[in-house]
Amino acid sequence: MAVLRVDASILGPNSASTELADLVEQELGGAPIVRRHIGASPLPADAWATAIQAAYVPAEHRSEAHHSAVALAGELADELRAADAAILALPFYNYGVSQHVKTWFDLAMAGGENGEKFLDGKPVVVLTTRGGSYGPGTPRDGWDHNTDYLRRVVGDIWGADLTLVEREFTLVGVNPALDAFTETAAVMRKSAHEAAIEAGRTLAARV
């Protein structure tokens, strides 16, 4: 059984989403993990467009860039197909999915059939984190254009049996403007950690 883990944080050891993914992974008892860190090693930003363009160019006339982009798209699609389960740590940046995640989604889709359910019925834990708070009643209610998108792609398009773990106020202690929310943030962190551990235990029972 192989588990695909994808991380997208740009914050290295300070990443809240990586911390949550680590909690999930530690429950898997040493199951084989295929790792891709698209935050630390981003996919080429132009690869998706190049892979799409290649479809309109006869194979014998394709450039080296065309061949490389098509091969990369196929590699990403194959990683998803081969996975028995997945841990996806995909944080919220600038009110939506990061460029790293969008490029990964787009390229993987380019490497498969239209609408292919790469993760059909497979258990997948998506961990997403937000620096502030975007829930009902907050000043930025409705500004989260990340979480529903992740549900649509991973759950609806790719067909995963999806568990979503969320954490807000990760910038409390970093941004002084959020100091008033220290206690709330601590409760949210604890709840998210508990949810990640439980998701890891559930995943372990299935892989």
Domain count along the chain = 1
Task: Please tell me the pTM assigned to this model.
Answer: 0.96
**Amino acid at site 171:** L
Which domain CATH number covers 46?
Answer: 3.40.50.360
Would you place residue 207 in the very low, low, confident or very high pLDDT band (cuts 50, 70, 90)?
Answer: confident
Write down the mean pLDDT value for the chain.
Answer: 97
Q: What is the mean pLDDT of residues 38-62?
A: 96
Q: Exposed/middle/buried for 172, CB within 10 Å: 0-12, 13-18, 19+? A: buried
Two structure tokens written together for 33: 């993990």
| Angle at CA of residue 189, ends 188 and 193, nearest 5° | 115
Residue 87 has pLDDT above 80, yes or no: yes
**Residue 1: pLDDT band by 50, 70, 90 thresholds?**
confident
Q: Do 57 and 65 form a contact (C-beta atoms < 8 A)?
A: no
Tens digit of pLDDT for each residue in 117-169? 999 999 999 999 999 999 999 999 999 999 999 999 999 999 999 999 999 99
pLDDT at position 88, please? 98
Residue span of the structural domain in which 192 resides: 3-205
